[in-house]
Amino acid sequence: VTNPRPPQIDISSRTPPYPKLLKRLAEVRRVLGSSRALTLAEKILYSHLDNPEESLLTNTQNGANIRGVANLKLKPDRVAMQDASAQMALLQFMSCGMSTTAVPASVHCDHMIVGEKGADTDLPNSIAGNKEVFDFLESAAKKYGIEFWPPGAGIIHQSVLENYSAPGLMMLGTDSHTPNAGGLGAIAIGVGGADAVDALVDAPWELKAPKILGVRLEGQLSGWTSPKDVIMYLAGKLTVRGGTGFIIEYHGPGVDTLSCTGMATACNMGAEVGATTSLFPFSPGHISYLEATHRGPIAKQAAEIASYESSRNLLRPDPDAEYDQLITINLSELEPHINGPFTPDLSTPLSKFKDTVAINNWPETFGAGLIGSCTNSSYEDMTRAEHLVKQAQAAGLSPKADFFITPGSEQIRATLERDETLSTFSSAGGTVLANACGPCIGQWKRNDGVEKGTDNAIFTSYNRNFPGRNDGNRKTMNFLASPEIVTAMSYSGSTTFNPMTDSIPTSNGQEFRFNPPSGYELPSAGFADGNPLFQPTPGVPDPTVDVAVSPTSDRLALLEPFAPYPTGQEFSDLRVLYKVKGQCTTDTISAAGPWLKYKGHLPNISENTLIGAVNAATGETNTAYDTDGTTSGIPELAKRWKDQGREWIVVAEHNYGEGSAREHAALQPRYLGGRIILAKSFARIHETNLKKQGVIPLTFANEADYDKIDACDELSTRGLWETLESGGKGSVELVVKKKDGSEVVVQTKHTLSADQCGFIIAGSALNLLARQAQE
Q: Which residues bind to ligand F3S, rule: CB under 6 A? A: 110-111, 155-157, 175, 177, 373-374, 437, 440-441, 463
Alpha helices in 508-630 (DSSP H): 586-589, 602-605
Amino acid, single-letter form, for residue 550: S
CB nearer to ligand F3S: pick between 478 and 764:
478
Distance set, CA 322 to CA 26, 36, 526 (Å): 20, 10, 39
CB of 561 to ligand F3S, least distance (A): 31
Beta bridge partners of 480: 339, 460
Judged by CB, which is closer to ligand F3S: 313, or 443?
443
Q: What single letter denotes the amino acid at residue 90?
A: L
Minimum distance of ligand F3S from residue 436's CB (angstroms): 8
What residues have CB less than 8 Å from 10, skipping those under 6 apart?
538, 539
Would the CA dihedral through 685, 688, 692, 697 be positive or negative?
positive
Q: How many CB atoms lie within 10 A of CB 371?
A: 29
CA–CA distances in Å: residue 323 to residues 311, 312, 318: 16, 16, 11
CB of 534 to ligand F3S, least distance (A): 17
CA distances from 413 to 153, 352, 368, 423, 450 (A): 10, 35, 21, 11, 29
CB of 246 to ligand F3S, least distance (A): 20
> Who contacts 18 (Cβ-Cβ below 8 Å, separation ≥6)?
168, 301, 302, 305, 314
Cβ neighbours, 10 Å, residue 483: 31
CB 742 within 8 Å of CB 689? no
Least distance (Å) between residue 36 CB and ligand F3S: 37
Torsions phi, psi for 236 (to 5 deg): -65, -35
Considering the complex, what minimum distance in angstroms separates the CB of residue 369 from ligand F3S?
16
Q: How far apart are CA 305 and CA 348, in angstroms?
A: 41
660 is catalytic: yes
In the complex with ligand F3S, the residue whose CB is nearer, 177 or 581, is: 177
Residue 128 CB, nearest approach to ligand F3S (Å) = 21
What angle is formed at CA 418 by the lines to CA 299 and CA 287, rounded to 5 degrees? Answer: 10
- Closer by beta carbon to ligand F3S, 276 or else 478: 478
Cβ 274 to ligand F3S, closest distance in Å? 15
Closer residue to ligand F3S in complex, CB, 141/374: 374
Contact (CB, 8 A) for 249 and 212: yes
Rounded Cα distance between 668 and 555, Å, is 15
Q: Which of 77, 83, 122, 175 is catalytic?
A: 175
Catalytic pick among 251, 464, 664, 686: 464
Q: Which is nearer to ligand F3S, 77 or 110 (CB)?
A: 110
| Cα–Cα–Cα angle for 17, 20, 21, rounded to 5 degrees | 80
Nearest to 481, CA basis, from 503, 504, 465? 465
**By 3-state DSSP, what share of the chain in percent is helix, strand and coil, each rounded to 5?**
35, 20, 45
Neighbours of 53 (CB within 10 A): 14
Q: For residues 460 and 590, which CB has a smaller minimum distance to ligand F3S in the complex?
A: 460
Q: Which amino acid is at 750?
A: H
* Among 55, 106, 126, 660, the one annotated catalytic: 660
CB of 89 to ligand F3S, least distance (A): 15
Nearer to ligand F3S, 49 or 374 (CB): 374
Catalytic residue among 286, 662, 670, 675: 662
Task: List the catalytic residue out of 24, 29, 78, 111.
Answer: 111
**Is 175 one of the catalytic residues?**
yes
Active site residue 10: no
Helix (H, G, I), strand (E, B) or coil at 313: coil
From 110, 195, 345, 705, the catalytic residue: 110
| Alpha carbon distance, N-terminus to C-terminus of the chain | 49
Q: How far is the CB of 308 from ligand F3S (least distance, A)?
A: 35
Please identify, using beta-carbon distances, which residue of 441 and 638 lies nearer to ligand F3S: 441
Task: Identify which of 462, 544, 493 has the alpha carbon closest to the alpha carbon of residue 157.
Answer: 462
Q: In 434-458, which positions are buried (b, 16+ CB within 10 angstroms) versus exposed (e)?
A: bbbbbbbbbbbebeeebeeeeebbb
Rounded to whole angstroms, how far apart are CA atoms 351 and 224?
12
Residue 86's identity, in one-letter code, is A
Three-state secondary-structure class, residue 3: coil
In the bound complex, what is the minimum distance in angstroms from residue 588's beta carbon to ligand F3S? 22
- Can 384 be counted among the known catalytic residues? no
Pick between residue 269 and residue 724 the one whose CB is nearest to ligand F3S. Answer: 269
Phi first, then psi, for residue 204 (nearest 5°) are -60, 140
Nearer to ligand F3S, 463 or 478 (CB): 463
Residues involved in catalysis: 110-111, 175, 464, 660, 662
